[in-house]
Structures are given as structure tokens and as C-alpha cells.
Amino acid sequence: MENYSTTLALLNLFLPLLSFVILIFFGKKIGNAAHWVALVLISITLGIAISIFANVFVNTGLPILETSVPWFSTGSFSISLGFLINNEAAIMLLVVALISFLVHFYSVGYMKGDPRYSRYFAYLGIFTFSMNGIVLADSLIMMYIFWELVGLSSYLLIGFWFEKESAANACKKAFLTNRVGDIGMFIGIMILFFTIGTFQINGLVEGVHNGAFAGNMNLLTIAGILVFMGAVGKSAQFPLHIWLPDAMEGPTPVSALIHAATMVAAGVYMVVRIFPILTPGALEFIAVVGGITAIMAAIIAITQNDIKRVLAYSTVSQLGYMIMALGVGAYQAGFFHLTTHAMFKACLFLCSGSVIHAMHHALHKLKDHDTDPQDMSNMGGLRDKMPITFWAMLIATLAISGVPFFSGFLSKDAILAGTLSYYHLHHGWTIFLPIAGFGAAVITAFYMFRLIFLTFFGKPANEKVYAHIHESPFQMTFPLILLAGLSFALFFTLPLSVNPIDNHGWFTEAVPMIENAAGLDMHAVEEGIHHAHYTAMGISLTVAAIGILLAVLFYLLRKVDAAKVAGVANKLGLYNLSFNKFYIDEIYNFIIYKPFLTISWLCSKLDWDVYDQKFVDGWGWLTLKLSDKSGEVDYNWLDQKVVDGFGKITQYFGKNLKLTQNGVVQNYLLGGMLGVLLLIILIQQF
Amino acid sequence: MESSILTLLIFVPVAGAVLMLPFAMLYGKENAHYYKWIAAITTGIQLILAGILYLNFDPALSIAESPFTVQMNWIAHFNIQYFLGVDGLSIPMVLLTALLSFICIISSWKIEKQALGYFSLFLLLDAGMMGVFLSMDFFLFYIFWEVMLLPMYFLIGIWGGPKRMYAAIKFFLYTLFGSVFMLLALLALYYYSDPHTFSLITLIHTVGSIDAEIWGISVKYLIWISLFIGFAIKVPIVPFHTWLPLAHVEAPTAISVILAGVLLKMGTYGLLRISYPLLPGEVVNFAYMLAVLGVINIIWGATNAIAQIDMKKMVAYSSVSHMGYVLLGMAAVISDSPAGAQAGMNGAVMQMFNHGTITAMLFLLVGMIYERAHHRWIIFPNDYEKPELAGQQGFGGLGAKVPVYTGFVAFAFFAGLGLPALSGFISEAMCFIGGFSVFRTLTIIGTLGILLNAIYFLRAYQRIFLGPLNEAYKDLTDISHRELFTLIPLVVLILFLGVYPAPLLDMISPAMDGIIKIVQSVI
């Protein structure tokens, strides 16, 4: 049985990689049939994911699969690779495979005619492979490996249309921003490793449970926050959220798959995995980050005009919700929202893709290359022309806005109950969390309906374009219908409950509350959530209604002039603040990016022009100067003066003494006598 | 056979160089055809020999036990031996040298200028490098170390770029400066040890008892410092590094590959082969310093690389950064966590090998674009010879024009920035993990390198390959079969070791255990 499950897990992991390998090497030959390779392999992957998922309903209390093999070892230091499939992982595998399959399917229509058609499907393959790796990983180091690999596939897909400067910038920004978080994650992993001695997630939980950090819980808090940094990057949490909206430069199906439903949820999933070792301190930090992200991104989404950007900020905001849920201990709710969000947000993105596709083709026919096909102010009234897209998008919008009967209502409600309960337990500043939660809820309902009204209602902005709008082909509408269907609450509560406001169902059975090994009393949390449940539901229904109502007044009935309100708000700079995304990009640019580049430039000047050319070569110059001098001394003085001096003296004497050699024998004799006399005198002296 | 394989590894290239002489007499010096084929065949044989060595290598055996070891008297009067051996520390370097030499000959196929000189000098260089990694006698080691220097000087000085003479002399003097210190250490080790010997294996046991002092400073300390300066210049450790960007930029492609791929490793190899086992007490005292220098290398190299507008110079500075990981990993030898010490040391040697393959690929790729475009500016400098281009982007949008080449560059860049599943990741991670077990704060600063390395690679990638196609390159040709032939072995190695590093680590780790044991015995 275990071998069988291992084989399934291996196939689930590697089939998408096979798709990548085939399409990268033979893509040119396969050409426009590339999607067949990818579709067949992803379908099998989906089948396997479903069969693994079936185990969720068999409650054994044990993981579905836990296995590992040594990767390498140097004796004391070793790393093993393995799978840990519990219910959460099995659900996540299904989510990934399902959305990936639908996106493959959808892309057949959306990417038709692209010059790099086969490469697109190859990239989808490597993405699905890496994402499955994150889900299956049984150790933090393995997770980190696939973590970086999804970063790569995200880079490749965001930059898929790399001829556009904006796409080229966006993919680089995404990779680098993620790396900032990854550094923290890596350091956190190292702390955990050297304290507990393992990278295995289960081993870490056991280690913390057995008191590996006893007396040093602050270190565990720090480690938890550091590992969470990875999620801040990947799940686009404040302050590293800046890459996700730019990532919309990628093809829209990619945005649905990677930047809405799965990869960005990997951070949330990671926090789910390590939840038992997160201390209350770390969780508090996580909750605050999530809360800030949820409300801030929602505020930004109000004023965006690009249909994909609205959805991008909405994604950031919803991810903030999930993170906040985990932070306040609402483990179940956080993961639940991940799942429901994956469906309705993928649906929303694919719908926006359908709209953009239609706009693009209409503009193409009109040979209009200046009008932005993603700008909502160029749309309007599309519901008659694109009924399937409209209905699917409306259903998904109802889900995200938290309207009963739809999935988002259940999961969001549970999160809000969690924040309320957290406030009841801790009081004080923690009121920020429910405020952020309910505040973001009202704003979400507002901006989502704004999007619906601007796109599908009202008068068409341009009749000529409108005339050329058509509903998308079957490959694109089929995934929309399916995902819209999965946005109904019923699918998450069956078979235990058909009550639309009760979230009990297979999901809550499959993902029960778990124990925290780092000192958080989960029973108190659970009880608190239970008590806060109805209050939260009441408030959340009210705020959703307010949000929708406001949107109706502003954008459907046009009772209130949005521009006027914006103008009033802008007296305090509020509109611009939202429209310019709180100027965070500009701030980073000004305080980090530009100064850093300047520093790096200065360093290179210092390294080369100063240190090398002046200092190092200075020694060379000095040596040359010294050798010049010594050469001068050597020749002009030592040689010319001293050595040649002797010669000159010798020459002088020679010249003068030769006069004595005059050939007169008497003189020689006289000289000889004088010499002998001198010798006698000298000898007598001693 | 087994005992002659090491000798053959060194002298097959020498024989190849000698063989070129009769050809030169018969067919003239300018007939490049013969010389490149002779060089290719000799380095090919050398590569096969290295392969045989690898297949028969048993990591569990020490130098003394290994059947490959050759030990005989050379200059008996001074107890100088012809002593060759191979263990887990040297075998990755031997394999790397053999592989890169062969690849470099193939990549030099288009060299026409004084081919006889080029290929014969290259083979001498090859012999010198092999000799350094195989010598177990310090005197012999020193001879080979110097043997390498001269061919390198000429290869840069004659076949290099516009500033080749300046670069060659700078390289030569810098290295010679280090050699002088190494020579001092060599003599001191000989005279102070009892019995007088140059054998690196015997010295492990005899150096410990030296307690002499000069001017009140321990001789062992002075020996360590001298060796350190000698090796630091080769690594190169900041601030002894400025010969490197210049030499790399001016050298012809193949020589840059050898410089970065093999020569830099000699510094860290020397530290691990000579300084570590002989002077464990000094290693313990200096470990912190080594870690500091390692982190400085990582950060300084990467920060400088970000500012470079010449591709080759960027890759050169990236080498400075990547060698910093090696130093940080090596410093972890003193870790009180066995896992930490092993991770660091094994990671360091693995990083030496992996950096060799990755950086070789980077230089080969830069060489290919240079051959086609005749420049390699990411951004043209402000004082460029054609003023209308000054400050402009050098390339742009090549991804659409030369997709295969682009794919290889992407592969090499991502390997360089340490992407998991490619070999650099594991070795870098292990260096950090090792470092972290001893030097927490330093290592945390060092991990910034993870980000900085990504910055310059991705910036360069964007500027060269992404965006709209620069019309000046609309006729650019994609990679040729010969070029593919040089790249594919490296791609395979980088990918294979990234996915499955065990074969490499299994070779290295017994040797590292030995060194760790020696060093830890004095703590």
C-alpha cells in the first residue's frame, strides 16, 4: 500500500516535469500540437491527485503517506527527501492539479497562435512540478528547494512576453522580491536545524514538543518569524507585496494559476505546515502582517482601473486574510479560505482573461493598438455579448464578497470569527485585527461589484469595439463554468450539511483543529471562535451588504458621482494615496533601490579606480621610481663617480708617473736606493 | 598501470607539447590545424585517464594506502621527492582540470594567431595545474605552481585583449609576490621540521613539534601568514583580488575559463592541502578571520558585480563573490557541531568544483557573444569609441533572436545565482549551514549574497536578452555545433550534481573528515 501511494506521489510530482522536458526539447517539432502532450500528462496528474484526495475521507488519524529517502550524507550532516501527505496536502494537491488542468485547457484557446506556444505549455509543466514539490515536501529544506523553483517558473511565465519592457521588469522584480523573503526563510531553517537537528517537518514538531527550545522560546519565535518571511515574499504580504500586481504582465491564465490560486498560496500552505511550531509571539506577528496586508491591498484595489490589477490587489488582500487567520490561530479557517479562494479567484482571473481576450480581438480587428484592452473604462455593457463569462464572474464575485450560499461566505466568516475571538482573548490593540478584517470585507464587496458594473453593465464605452466583442470559445468557457460551480458553498459542506450558513462538512472533518507544540492553547482558540461565530456572521453579512449597496449606488445606478467623491477624498490626498498604491514602490525605489545602485557604483569606483589603479599600482609606480633613482645612483654616482673615479686616479698617476720612465739608468738606481732606505726605516719602526 | 596514471596525467600534455616541435619543423609554425588536433588529442587522453582514475578511485583509502600513490627520491640530498598522490580533496580538482582543459582546447578552435605557441603553452599550463593538484611534496608543488605561471603570462600577454600586456604583467607580479611568501614558508617548514622533509604527509606529524620563535613570534604563525598570503592572492581574497577582473577581461576566452575554473581553486586547495593539516592550531586561531574575509568576499564581489557594464568583468567579480562561500565554509572547520563542520568543509570543496563548472560555462558563453558581436558591453561606457553608442544598451532582446543561446545563458545565470536543482545551490547552502553553526551574525550578513548574486545576473539577463530586439543584431546566428559540444558536458554536470550530489560528496567527505579531525584535535 505504501509503495503504491509512493508511486502515485512520484507520478503526481514528475509527470508535469515530463511535460516540460518533452516540450522544451521537442517543442519546435510538436508545434501547435504541444497542448496535447501537456493536457494528457496534466490529466493523468489530476486523476492521481483525485485518487490521493479520496484518502481524505478515510479517517485513520495518520498521514496518508510519509516516506523519505536519503539524498546525500557526509556522515553527521545529511539531507533526505521525502513526501508527507496529510489531509491538508491531499486537498492542496487536488487544488493545484485541478486549477492547473483547467488553466491548461483554457490556454489552448487563450494562447492560440502565440509564436512560443509550446514553450508556454512547457513552463506550465515545470510550474506544476515545482508546486507539487512544495505540497509534498516532508522537510523544510525540500520545501525551500521547490520554493525557489516555483520562483523560477513564475519568473519565466511573468516574463513570457519578454519583448515588453514591463514584462521584463516585472519578472525580475518578482524573483528578487521573493529572494528577500527566502533569505529569512533560509536563516530560520538553519536556526531550527541547529537547535533540533533535523529538517523534517514532523521531526521539528516533535522536537519543539519535547522542549528543544525550552528556556529559549524567544529564539523559536524569531525562527518562526524568519521562516514566515518566506511566506511574506511568496504570498505577497506587506511589505514584500509589491511584485504581485506587476506580475500581471504574464498571460492571464498564468495569473489565474500561479498568481491567484496556487503559488501565492504556497506561503499560506507553508505556514499551515509549520503551524504547530509557531509560538504565540510569532503568530501575533503573522496576524498583524496579514491584517495590514488585507486592508491595505483592499484600499488600493478600489481605485485601480486595470481589470487585472483590481484582481491582483484583491488577491493580495485575500492572502492577507488567510495569513491573518493563521496568525490568530484560526488554522482551519485559514486553510479553508485558501481552498475556496483558489476556486473563485481562479474563476475571476479566467473571466477577466476572457474579457481581455475579447477586447484584444476586437481592437485587433479595428487595428487599434493604442486602446488598453485591460482598462475597464474602455469596456461596459459586455454582459449581453459575453453571457457565460458574465454569469461565471458574477458568481465568483458573490463568493469573494461573502454572500451566503457561496463558498467565500463560509471561509471568510470563519476567519472573521477568529479575529473577533482573538480580540476577546487579548483586548487592547488587537481590535485592529477585526477592524482590518471587516473593513477589508466591506471594501472587497465594493470594489468587486465596481468591477462587475464597470465591465458588464452600463453603456459600452466604445460602440465600435463593442460591436466586435464575442464570447470566448469553448476551451475558455468550460473552465469558467466549472470554477463558478465550485464557488458554491455546497461543495465544501456536503454531505454533512446543506445549511448555507453552516460550514460543517467534509472539509471541517478533513482538516480539524490541530495542536500547537509551541505554547498556544488551541482549545481556548477553538472555543473563542465558536462563541464569536454568530456575532461575526451578523457583522459580515451587514458589511457585505453595505459594500454591494455602495457599489450599486456609485456604479450601477450612478446616484453618486464617483469622480466627485474621489475629488473630495483627494483633498486629503486619499484618492492619490490609493491610486498610487501608498507610494510603496516609489519609496523603495527612493530609499533602497537607487541608493543601493549608487553604492554599488561607488564600490566599483573604489575597487578599481582608487584601490587598484591608485593604491596597488601605486606600489608599482613607487617601485619604478625607486628603481629609477637607484639606477641613477648606480650609474651617475657609483659607476661614474666611484668606479670611474678609481680609473681616473689610476689614469692620473699613470700619466704623471710615466714621466719618471725616462730611460736614464742613474735615476732608476737612485730610486731603488731611496726605496731600500725607506724600507729600512719602516722595518726599524716595528 | 595504477601507479603510473598520475604521472601520465601530468606528462601527457608535456609530451603533446614536445610532439608539436617536429610538426613545426615540417609544416611550419602557422599551420594551426596540426597543433589544435594534437592539443585536442592530448587533453582528450588526459580526460580519459582522469576518467579511469575516477572509476578506480576509492575514497576510503588515504594517500599512503592508495595504489595510485607514487613516491620516489628526486633530489635525495635535500630529501626532495617525486611524490604524487590523490585523495578526496584533490580528485574533484583533477577531474575539473582535465575536463576544462579539454573543453578549452575545443573552444579555442578558431585561434589562428601563432597557434603553435598558443597550444603548446596551453599544454604546459595544463601540466602545471595537474602537477599542483597531484603533488604531495611541497617542493614539487612549488615547482608546478611556478611552472603554471609562465605559460599563463604569455597566454594573456600575447593572445589577450587590448590591455593584455598590462594585465599579464599585473597577474605575473601579483602572483610572484605571493610565491615569494610561499617560498619562505617552504624553506621554514623544511628547516624547522625534524627530519628535514618536504613531504606533506610527513610534515603533518612533524610540524606540531616546532616551537621556535623569530623576533618573539612563533615560527608556525609566520609560516601560516606566509602561506596565507601566497594562497590568498590566488583565491583571490579581498583585498588581494584586483589582478583578477583585469586578467579575466583581457585573457582570451579559454584562458579566462582556466583562470576562473581552475587557478582560483588552487588558493583554497593550497589552504586545505597544506595550511590546514600542517598548522591546525593556527587554523583555529584564524578561523574567525577566514569567515570575516569570506563574507567580505561574498558581499564585496557581488556589490561590484552589480555595477559592472562589461559582461566579462561582471562574471569575474561574481567569481570573487562565489569564492567567498568557499572561505566561509572552510572556516566552519572549528564548529563544535559535527554536522556544521562537515557541512562547511564538504560544501567548500564542492563549491570549488561547482564554481569551476558554472563559471567555465559563463565565460564560454560570454566568449561566444563576443566572437559574434565583437563587444560584450551590457551598457556601452561613456567614453566608448563610437560616441553615438556611448551610454546605450549594448544588446537587448536577443532572446527572440537566438533562443538556444539564450537558454544556455539562462541556465548558467540561474546556476550562478544558486537556483536549487543546479549544483551551485547545494554547495552554497552547505557553506552557509556550516558557517552558521559557528559564526551566526557573519553568516546572516553573508546570506545577503543570495540576493545580491541574483540582482546582477537578472539585471544583465534582462538588458541583454529581454525587451525589444536591438536591430543591430537582427542577423545574429545562434549557437554552433562545436559550441554546443563545449557546453553540454558542463550543463549535464551542473544539473546532475544539483539533483544528485552524493557521488561528489562521497568522494570528498572521507578526506574532509581527516582534516576536520586534525584541526579539531587541537581545540
CB-CB under 8 Å, B454 with A179: yes
Express as a percent the part of chain B with pLDDT over 90.
66
CB-CB under 8 Å, A144 with B420: yes
CB-CB under 8 Å, B465 with A172: no
Chain B residues touching residue A146 (CB < 8 angstroms): 420
Chain A residues touching residue B430 (CB < 8 angstroms): 77
Query: CB contact, 8 Å: A145 with chain B?
Result: yes
How many other CB atoms are found less than 10 A from the CB of residue A526?
A: 18
Model confidence band, residue B210 (pLDDT cutoffs 50, 70, 90): confident
If you average pLDDT over every residue of chain B, what do you get?
A: 91
CB-CB under 8 Å, B414 with A616: no
Q: What is the model's pLDDT at position A532?
A: 85
CB-CB under 8 Å, B307 with A603: yes
CB-CB under 8 Å, B173 with A73: no
Report yes or no: B267 and B290 within 8 Å, Cβ to Cβ.
no
Comparing alpha-carbon positions, the chain A residue that sits nearest to B421 is A145
Mutate to test the interface with B, among A607, A609, A616 (most CBs of B within 10 A): A607
| B443/B432 Cα distance (integer angstroms) | 6
CB-CB under 8 Å, B400 with A186: no
CA end-to-end distance (rounded Å), chain A: 119
CB-CB under 8 Å, A179 with B303: no
- Residues B245-284: b if buried by 16+ CB within 10 A, e if exposed: bbbbbbbbbbbbbbbbbbbbbbbbbbbbbbbbbbbbbbbe
Model confidence band, residue B392 (pLDDT cutoffs 50, 70, 90): confident
CB-CB under 8 Å, A611 with B242: yes
Report yes or no: B312 and B228 within 8 Å, Cβ to Cβ.
no
Q: φ, ψ for residue B317 (rounded to 5)?
A: -65, -30
Q: Is the pLDDT of residue B145 over 90?
A: yes
CB-CB under 8 Å, A162 with B304: no
Chain A residues touching residue B447 (CB < 8 angstroms): 183, 186-187
CB-CB under 8 Å, B304 with A600: yes
Chain B residues touching residue A599 (CB < 8 angstroms): 303
User: How distant is the alpha carbon of residue B239 from its chain centre?
Assistant: 18
How distant is the Cα of A35 from the closest Cα of chain B, in angstroms? 21
Chain B residues touching residue A620 (CB < 8 angstroms): 173
Q: What is the model's pLDDT at position A501?
A: 65
Chain B residues touching residue A172 (CB < 8 angstroms): 458-459, 461-462
Among the ranges given (A229-243, A251-265, B27-41, B157-171), the one the predictor scored with the smallest mean pLDDT: B27-41
Mutate to test the interface with B, among A24, A25, A72 (most CBs of B within 10 A): A72
Nearest Cβ partner of B421 from A76, A141, A149?
Answer: A149
How distant is the Cα of A207 from the closest Cα of chain B, in angstroms? 17
Q: What is the mean pLDDT of each run of 10 residues along chain A (686 residues)?
A: 81 92 88 88 93 82 85 90 91 93 92 88 94 94 94 93 91 93 94 92 91 87 94 92 90 90 92 92 94 93 90 93 92 91 93 91 85 85 88 93 88 90 88 91 92 88 84 90 89 70 77 84 86 87 90 84 80 80 86 88 88 86 88 85 87 84 80 89 82
Mutate to test the interface with B, among A77, A598, A615 (most CBs of B within 10 A): A77
CB-CB under 8 Å, B502 with A71: yes
Comparing alpha-carbon positions, the chain A residue that sits nearest to B462 is A168
Chain A residues touching residue B237 (CB < 8 angstroms): none
Nearest Cβ partner of B466 from A144, A146, A159?
Answer: A159
CB-CB under 8 Å, B306 with A597: yes
Chain A residues touching residue B501 (CB < 8 angstroms): 71-72
Report yes or no: A553 and A559 within 8 Å, Cβ to Cβ.
yes
| B414/B362 Cα distance (integer angstroms) | 11
Mutate to test the interface with A, among B303, B492, B496 (most CBs of A within 10 A): B303
Query: CB contact, 8 Å: A172 with chain B?
Result: yes
Query: CB contact, 8 Å: A182 with chain B?
Result: yes
Structure-block grid coordinates of residue B435? 558557517
A459 torsion bin: left (phi>0), alpha (psi -120 to 50), beta (else): beta
Q: The pTM is what?
A: 0.92
Chain B residues touching residue A162 (CB < 8 angstroms): 397, 399-400, 465-467
CB-CB under 8 Å, A616 with B451: no
How distant is the Cα of A145 from the closest Cα of chain B, in angstroms? 5
Q: Which residues pair with A488 in a beta bridge?
A: A406
| B59/B506 Cα distance (integer angstroms) | 7
Q: Which residues contact A231 (CB under 8 A, 6 or more apart)?
A: A181, A185, A237, A266, A267, A268, A270, A271, A323
How distant is the Cα of B437 from the closest Cα of chain A, in angstroms? 7
Q: What is the model's pLDDT at position A496?
A: 63
Residue-level length of chain B: 523
How many other CB atoms are found less than 10 A from the CB of residue B123?
A: 28
- HSE-up (13 A, CA, CB side) for residue B313: 22
Mutate to test the interface with A, among B428, B505, B515 (most CBs of A within 10 A): B505
Model confidence band, residue B206 (pLDDT cutoffs 50, 70, 90): confident
DSSP 8-state secondary structure symbol assigned to residue B70 = E
Q: What is the model's pLDDT at position A631?
A: 86
Chain B residues touching residue A149 (CB < 8 angstroms): 419-421
Report yes or no: B427 and B498 within 8 Å, Cβ to Cβ.
no
Q: What is the model's pLDDT at position A499?
A: 66
How many other CB atoms are found less than 10 A from the CB of residue A474?
A: 12
Among the ranges given (A618-627, B251-260, B318-327, B430-439), the one the predictor scored with the smallest mean pLDDT: A618-627
Chain A residues touching residue B339 (CB < 8 angstroms): 76-77, 194, 197
Compute CA distances A10 → A86, A144, B190, whole Å: 16, 18, 59
CB-CB under 8 Å, A197 with B304: no
How distant is the Cα of B351 from the closest Cα of chain A, in angstroms? 15
Mutate to test the interface with A, among B163, B325, B342, B458 (most CBs of A within 10 A): B458
Whether the link from the prior residue into A473 is cis, omega within 30° of 0, is no
Nearest Cβ partner of B468 from A163, A183, A608?
Answer: A163
Nearest of A525, A576, A522, A292 to residue A429 by alpha carbon:
A292
Model confidence band, residue B387 (pLDDT cutoffs 50, 70, 90): confident
How distant is the Cα of A106 from the closest Cα of chain B, in angstroms? 25
Comparing alpha-carbon positions, the chain A residue that sits nearest to B336 is A194
- pLDDT tens digits along B279-308: 998 999 999 999 999 999 999 999 999 999
CB-CB under 8 Å, B505 with A186: no
Mutate to test the interface with A, among B451, B459, B497, B516 (most CBs of A within 10 A): B451
Q: What is the model's pLDDT at position B228?
A: 94
Nearest of B520, B441, B344, B431 to residue A76 by alpha carbon:
B344
Nearest of A368, A151, A130 to residue A244 by alpha carbon:
A151
Comparing alpha-carbon positions, the chain A residue that sits nearest to B400 is A163
Q: What type of residue sits at position A137?
A: A
In chain B, how long is the greatest CA-to-CA distance? 71
